[in-house]
Amino acid sequence: EPEVTQTPSHQVTQMGQEVILRCVPISNHLYFYWYRQILGQKVEFLVSFYNNEISEKSEIFDDQFSVERPDGSNFTLKIRSTKLEDSAMYFCASSEALGGGLTRGQYFGPGTRLLVL
């Protein structure tokens, strides 16, 4: 069964450093997403990406964040200057389109646990 993969599984970084989280979505999916989940809290939408551009982003997704699809398979999230409060689990997800503005449910990767010290 196709699955979303993410690397690394864990990342420890110093405050102020840049991190890049990587994802390989399911191959025939067209919609890509990043979420974060702070320990003990709910899953929070960060950004969606379609047709090589950002479709929607939340208030969390400020200028410190960027996304890129550098080739036909990878989808990355970059945090330019990490803060302590960026410590969280980051999930990538992908989905198919159904047309008419509807999508199928999203399939999530196993996540990258980011710890900022």
Partner 1 sequence: RKEVEQDPGPFNVPEGATVAFNCTYSNSASQSFFWYRQDCRKEPKLLMSVYSSGNEDGRFTAQLNRASQYISLLIRDSKLSDSATYLCVVSYTGGFKTIFGAGTRLFVKA
Q: Rule CB under 8 A: is residue 101 a binding residue for partner 1? A: yes
Q: What's the CA gap between 112 and 83, in Å, rounded?
A: 16
Rounded to the nearest 5°, which phi and psi values hold at 86?
A: -80, -10
End-to-end CA distance of the chain, in Å?
37
Residue of 55, 73, 74, 81 interacting with partner 1 (CB under 8 A)? 55
Of 14 and 98, which CB lies nearer to partner 1 in the complex structure?
98
* Residue 89 in tokens: 């689990």
Write the binding mask 66 to 95 for partner 1: x where contact by CB under 8 A, - elsewhere: -----------------------x-x---x
Residue of 25, 33, 67, 88 interacting with partner 1 (CB under 8 A)? 33
Nearest to 35 by CA among 102, 115, 110: 110
Nearest to 97 by CA among 45, 55, 66, 57: 55
Q: Rule CB under 8 A: is residue 25 a binding residue for partner 1? A: no
Q: Rule CB under 8 A: is residue 59 a binding residue for partner 1? A: no
Sequence letter at residue 116 = V
Footprint of partner 1 (CB under 8 A)? 31, 33, 35, 41-45, 48, 50, 55-56, 58, 89, 91, 95, 97, 101-111
